[in-house]
Structure 1
């Protein structure tokens, strides 16, 4: 079975324009690539998992902050060339970009490791 991903496309209306939040992968492979690299915050989930719950979890994992409260509108699914199936929801709201901490985790040395 092909991998499955779920994500939330956060948007807001500002000054008569529609703005969306997109993310860019990090690492050396993506360092000089922009075209085709931007995406909604998303991540993989297992069959049987609730896709919207996975999308909300992945939003937190990708950005370090929860998505705003509100009704998420299902946008549908898209199959990528790789076969991965992407499920997406649109959610209107604001996000404090100063609070975003992408893919961070606490690191510690194991006891007696040195």
Structure 2
């Protein structure tokens, strides 16, 4: 089974909890918004510790190194069957500072032309009500788990 590891960054603003989510870059998601946002995550390298992979992926996709008290959440299975291991960590960052790594893909399809795109084109803070609309539906349990653990 393929596995990804990610970090759910959260902050408390007044009485509200906010979650930092990312929007996938590239032409496929350019005009999509609802249900495509995600926790920053990615596949593990061979023999890599999952938490180390989550921290590395966050830094690659967001451009910020994160540390703190990591709270392990129960894994989820995405629609494609990939298992996502996730840790929550409290922190804050300015979405305007996001700087993502890039990937290459053939675009337009079947054109033979390779183009480079950012893996993540933006990040944003969401309250729970807005996050559950934006995030991939299979990742909603990560938000719910964190809320339960912090209650």
TM-score, normalisation: structure 1: 0.82
User: Deviations along 1:19-51, whole A, 9 cap, x unmatched?
Assistant: 110000011110111122000000001453210
What is the aligned partner in structure 2 of residue 112 from structure 1? none
- For structure 2, the residue ranges without an aligned partner over 5 or more in a row are 104-151
Which structure is higher in helix share?
2
The CA RMSD measured in Å over matched residues stands at 1.7
Higher strand share: 2
State which drifts further: 44-53 or 75-84.
44-53
In structure 1, list runs of 5 or more residues that go unmatched: 106-114
Secondary structure in structure 2 of the residue aligned to 1:21 = strand
Aligned to 1:103: 101
Stretch moving more, 2-11 or 92-101:
92-101
Q: 2:39 aligned with 1:32, yes or no?
A: no
Report the structure number with the largest CA radius of gyration. 1
1 CA distance for matches of 2:102 and 2:47? Answer: 27
- Look up the match of 1:80: 78
The 4+ residue runs of structure 1 with deviation greater than 4 A are none
Query: Which residue number corresponds to residue 9 of structure 1?
Result: 8
Point out the more displaced range, 93-102 or 33-42.
93-102
TM-score by length of 2: 0.63
